[in-house]
Amino acid sequence: MNRRPGFLVYGLLGAFVIGSALPLYWSFVIGSHTKDQADSYPPPFWPGGHFLENARRVLDTVPFWHALINSIIVSTACGISVVFFSTLAGYAFAKLKFRGSNALMAFVVMTMTVPTQLAVVPLFVLMRDYHLLDTLVAVALPTLVTAFGVFFMRQYLVDAVPDELIEAARMDGCTMLRTFWIVAVPAARPAMSILFLFTFMQVWTDYMWPLVALQNKQTVQIALDQLKLTGQGQATDYALVLCGTAMATIPLLLLFVAAGRNLVTGIMQGAVKG
């Protein structure tokens, strides 16, 4: 693994990357043609000029903008909440000594493997009893904290914050909270942005829980589901469906272009330490 790789390596990687990109490309191609063009065989290979027209049809069929705003609100709220509480707890686990910390941390690690998604029925009943069904609060509640977040921040802060710095801040008369604020938070910033990104994507792409928790309101994923249903019974209008898919994917693609590098680093860092 010292030699520079040859054509074979680049060729295989290229094939894999093309395979990764092709389905996405396909949605843009079909989504930018008319229904008749999209149904023809062989299918069009280059993007067509009807994307905006299809997009208008998407907007006429489902409340896309509402869904988009709802998704942004919920994903952002969960992202901020997870980052805040995870940094706080992760810092305590990484740097503060307190009785029971090992047992509590073991509990956190254990809960990472607990499939909480299976508890949809009681969660649904809970939301119904507190009249939270069909509200964004209900969608956000289960993801306000994640065990993964606490674990991730702890792993990062163990190395990122030198103990001497904490002691120095304490010597200068800082309270615990102030020490956290001026020592831990600045050091944690890279991990915080990665965790935000992760949580944002996790909530944004979730389909099952919003489906259960919402009735009239929609998130982007629910809107896509509804878009697919409109064609059911007849031949599905794939120009419409795939245009909607492309529209729903664009926000995350933009995020990926802007912060994909951090996402890659985050996944790789989490792996080595996890």
Partner 1 sequence: MSDHTKTAVGGTATAVPPAAADPARERARLVRRQRRSRWDIKLSPYLYVSPFFILFLIVGLYPLVYTGFLSLFGWDRWAYHRGGFLGLDNYRFVLTDPIFLKSLVNTFTIFLMSSVPQVVIAVAVAALLDTRLRFRTFWRMSVLLPFVVAPTAVVLIFGSLFADQSGLINQCLASLNAHGLHFIHPVPWHSNRWASQLAISGMVNWRWTGYNTLIFLAAMQAVPRDLYESAAIDGAGRVRQFFSVTLPMIRPTMIFIIITSTIGGLQIFTEPRLFDDTVAREGGANHEYMTTTLYIYVRGIKEQMYGRASAAAWLLFMIIVAIALLNFGITRFLTRRSAA
Q: How many other C-beta atoms can be found within 10 angstroms of the C-beta atom of residue 260?
A: 12
CB of 53 to partner 1, least distance (A): 18
65 vs 130, beta carbon nearer partner 1: 130
CB of 81 to partner 1, least distance (A): 9
CB of 228 to partner 1, least distance (A): 6
21-55 residues labelled b (16+ CB within 10 A) or e (exposed)? eeeeebbbbbbbbebeebeeeeeeeeebebbeebb
Residue 71: closest CA among 232, 257, 255? 255
77 vs 248, beta carbon nearer partner 1: 248
For the record, the structure tokens of 46 come out as: 């280059």
What letter would DSSP give residue 40? S
Q: 225 Cβ partners below 8 Å, 6+ apart?
A: 207, 211
4 vs 49, beta carbon nearer partner 1: 4
From CA 158, how far away is CA 128, in angstroms rounded? 41
CB of 147 to partner 1, least distance (A): 7
76 vs 249, beta carbon nearer partner 1: 249
CB of 58 to partner 1, least distance (A): 12
103 vs 164, beta carbon nearer partner 1: 103
